[in-house]
Chain A
């Protein structure tokens, strides 16, 4: 992996974080620097190594299909930054999917 320039604006868009121009510059440099350090991983021969799926081997953790108590609605809505009646309210959605 050669040292690549991260398209910080694109990544910030994916992560839904608005960045100032100054932050784009600063983060770009810092992340570039981090990536250079991280690139040492390419030295490792991982060809025959499986990726860790679970740190402590565990399989099939499931629960029975039983219902339990839900949160009280007032508690739920009292946390809402904006509510309208029994709903959470958000500003208009522009695209079909975020």
Chain B
């Protein structure tokens, strides 16, 4: 495997900008590597050979013309819920299995404008609903660290691509943890910016008030670079925030001196088992060793996170997914009349998890239940926001596990609710719109497993404090270097 594919985004951009490497060379090497390993990993639903080479050519022209591009030649995996003109954009669903997007979403466009090369459209849980990527209707993605295990979800393809060196940056989306949890499962960094920092225009909507696009990378620095490229106000998205994007890549810290890190009292890690508990105790100690002061904080509503999320997200998605009706695009299953056509199309086009969420969401919004469910959940959400405001009065960042276990095996979580529990730690931050990320913090050999699997540390910051968050994560990463302990099995083979 060429060394080129192991390069970080920062290294690639530097090499291409300086003329040491051309974007074409990087792209060719990457595409060859994808063809060599992706049959085993299954990160990509669509490999973009031609398009990638086209973009590489353009980047090389621009660089030759004297431009310095922040992501020059950097290979990127684009989660398949993001529209990219001319590419099949499926959201992991049969209902969009053959739909070609006629436009490109803003975040993707900005990455491309910054010089990134789209290598492929990445697999995902259908319509971003899931925590293992098993809900994809169109393919199976395997964890590059153990092919018998899930990569996490819903951004399973993006994270697997990055972990298996099939991209330097994965574009993911996070609604309740869909960037952070897979990052933890696959030994990568996964970063969800503040809600509204990255435009959602072109992102196939799941839950409008929770969805955010963010990067998956092998280093924190790469996430900072990706964030700078994709973030910023967009006139096409009414919920995008009009605030300048401060540079994070130049504010990466060497230590955590002066930072107070909050450990949430309600996040009792003992119940995760002795080994995992010990690992996180160790992780928190490492934060201290790097100069942070640990403080206990409280999130009294923590245990209500799942309930709140699993009312709001399905409610919004039940409405967002109504447009998939067989009329204007996508799958159509004929019916004697339009009503029958709708019902047959949606029955055939949506998988069981999607159907479940549409049903519960429809129910939560329906007459007689709206106040008790939807409104109640939105009020609980305000309480979460208030909890965090209070907590951040005594700390600068909050630390917690990113997921409650290492990557599990396929079909391990057959009960929907046990799958929902995977998002326990990540959901509260989503509800409050906070910027949060996962950074590798160690290894655990799971019960019945034959090799160590990665674990992730979640760090969260107050609204708009991406610079502080990324800065601290970088210090932790560089000070502990957990990620470099083991390599993905698929590439070392």
Contact = CB atoms under 8 A, between A and B. Distances in A.
The answer to whether A and B assemble together is: yes
B375 A51 contact: yes
Interface stretch (B35-43, B132-140, B325-333): B325-333
A59 to B, nearest CB: 11
A52 B381 contact: yes
A55 B372 CA distance: 20
Interface string B254-278: 0000000000000000000000000
Nearest to B85: A75
Interface stretch (B7-15, B70-78, B339-347): B339-347
Interface string A64-82: 0000000100011001111
A54 B239 contact: yes
B15 to A, nearest CB: 37
Interface stretch (B112-120, B149-157, B160-168, B303-311): B303-311
Given A33-B417, A44-B380, A61 B238 contact: yes
A41 to B, nearest CB: 5
B347 A19 contact: yes
Q: Which secondary structure dominates chain B's binding surface?
A: helix
A15 B318 contact: yes
B196 A58 contact: yes
Query: Size band of the B side of the interface?
Result: 35 or more
Given A15-B358, A17-B350, A27-B356, A52 B385 contact: yes
B65 to A, nearest CB: 27
Contacts of A44: 301, 304, 376, 379-380, 383
B337 A18 contact: no
Interface residues of A, number: 52
Interface string B343-386: 11011001010011011101100100000110111111111011
Contacts of A61: 238-239
B247 interface: no
Interface string B220-237: 000000000000000100
A94 B337 contact: yes
B195 interface: yes
A38 B385 contact: no
Given A11-B362, A61-B238, A40 B378 contact: no
B372 A1 contact: yes
A81 B376 contact: no
A16 B342 contact: yes
A25 to B, nearest CB: 13
Nearest to B243: A56
A81 B342 contact: no
B194 interface: yes
Given A58-B196, A58-B241, A41 B382 contact: no
A3 interface: no
B343 A16 contact: yes
Given A15-B318, A41-B376, 7 more contacts: A31-B360, A39-B307, A44-B380, A55-B432, A61-B239, A81-B332, A93-B337
**Which 7 residue pairs across A and B have the least CB separation, nearest first?**
A81-B332, A51-B378, A55-B433, A46-B379, A18-B343, A79-B329, A16-B342
